[in-house]
Amino acid sequence: MKTLLRSAVLAAVSAGLLAAPAAAAPDAPHEGAHLARPGLPQPLRAAAPHEAVEFFWYDCSHSAALEEPLARWAARHTGEVVLHRVPAIWTGGPDERLQTAHARLFYTLERLGAVDRLQARGFRAVRTEKADLTTEDAAAEWAAEQGLDERDFRAAYRSSEVDRAVAAVPALFARYAVDELPTVVVDGTSRTAPSRAGGVAGMPAELDRLIARP
């Protein structure tokens, strides 16, 4: 299933839906931290009966553990659920530089239509292989090893569209009050995360319950 978050983010920015709230976004929490927060915004885009928005980071072990189960869950609900992914950037947090670089990698892959094929490899490269993909040269070399055209990758990496998508992420995190990774928000009104589902393994079943709600 093609992930279309980039266009959704830019559409939301253009429509003025991503104005920062009065309160600042929370500092980056420890993995597994959780605070209940009401008042989620409406879905980014209505292209199916349900929308699931996953907030993740390539260097988060819980996000990495969710990737394959979430992909299988989305495949089971093709036509019923549109899955979007949002890379983590907590402004002012200790990992902001790394997160911003990883977000640029993600949106570059998305612009090239390669997220579905390479998302799991991105997690593996960062989490398991400890690859530093935070520079254009390193990211382009890795992308070429995955079969992407290096010139196309570099052009996308430097593009104004990717610039705008990366710049929009902190507002999305504040808007959705994300304070735990991974978090999946369903239809803009309910969410699940490891702390709510008893761990990452319980999240797909919790997502089933959320989309089954009347």
Q: Convert the pLDDT of each residue in 72-86 to its tens digit.
A: 999 999 989 999 999
Residue-wise pLDDT tens digits, 2-42: 333 333 333 333 333 333 322 333 333 333 333 233 333 44
Q: Is the peptide bond before 182 cis (omega within 30 degrees of 0)?
A: yes
Whether pTM exceeds 0.85: no
Residue 47: pLDDT band (50, 70, 90) is low
Instruction: Count CA atoms closer than 13 A to 186's CA, side-chain side.
Output: 20
pLDDT at residue 46 above 60?
A: no
Can you tell me which residue has the tokens 């495949």?
A: 75
Question: Which amino acid is residue 64, in one-letter code?
Answer: A
Residue in 85, 147, 153 with CA at minimum distance from that of residue 117 = 147
Q: What is the pLDDT of residue 2?
A: 34
Torsion sign, CA atoms 180, 183, 186, 191: negative
Portion of the chain with pLDDT greater than 90, in percent: 72
Give CA–CA dist 53/44, Å, rounded: 8
- 60's CB contacts (< 8 A; 6+ apart) are 31, 88, 181, 182
